Amino acid sequence: MTLTTDNLFYSKRLKMTPPRPEDVQTMLQWNEDPEYLRNVDTDLAIPYSEKQLEDEGETKNKEVYFRLRTHGEDTLIGFVVIHSIEWNNRCGQLAIGIGLAKHRNKGYGTEALNLILRYAFHEMNLDRVGLDVIAYNAKAIRSYEKAGFQLEGRARSAVYRDGKRYDRLMMGILRPEWEIHNQIHTEGEHA
């Protein structure tokens, strides 16, 4: 499959960039949003300190981390990472977060997913990308499905929030599935 873009790090409205020192102040605002903290991780919703945010995104062998920014305004809106990479198996896990509520529900998540999957399959040469999501996060699940992810399993009653138990869903996409899905959607845009 041939790349259909001139820049591996750009989509229509977004770009993937390395962390910048000035990002920390914006990310401190994300920490004040309990919905963000509770959807981005299954662990306790504890805001990161300024020092922890400064260290986030340090390149490691087992992950590839990007910050998400808009093109025109260069506004930091989120992050995306392929982590827990097993190079020998050509597999990795995906995590994504859109920080402020004003940037959610605008299609940025789906666009960012397509961008990082293109990077994962074409640049990193992975064959499989997986993720897990809390069952109550319906918007994220829809976005993952729009990008071609399929439900692969569930850890029943794995997350406890507000006195209720929730399943943790495991989803994944294989490179051939993504290529077919991407081709269908690209052809649909040009029709």
Distances in Å between the Cα of 13 and the Cα atoms of 77, 109, 112, 182 are: 11, 11, 9, 17
Q: What are residue 108's phi and psi, to 5 degrees? A: -65, -40
* Model confidence at 46: pLDDT above 50: yes
Q: What share of the chain is helix, strand, coil (3-state, %, to 5)?
A: 35, 35, 35
Domains in the chain, CATH or no CATH each = 14-190 (3.40.630.30)
Give the residue carrying structure tokens 């097993």.
86
CA-CA-CA-CA torsion sign (70, 181, 147, 59) = negative
- The pTM (predicted TM-score) of the whole model is 0.88
CA angle 152, 95, 147 (to 5 degrees): 60
pLDDT at 3: 47
For residue 1, name the pLDDT band (cuts at 50, 70, 90): very low
For residue 186, name the pLDDT band (cuts at 50, 70, 90): low
Token reading at 46: 């504890």
pLDDT at 58: 67
* Model confidence at 2: pLDDT above 70: no
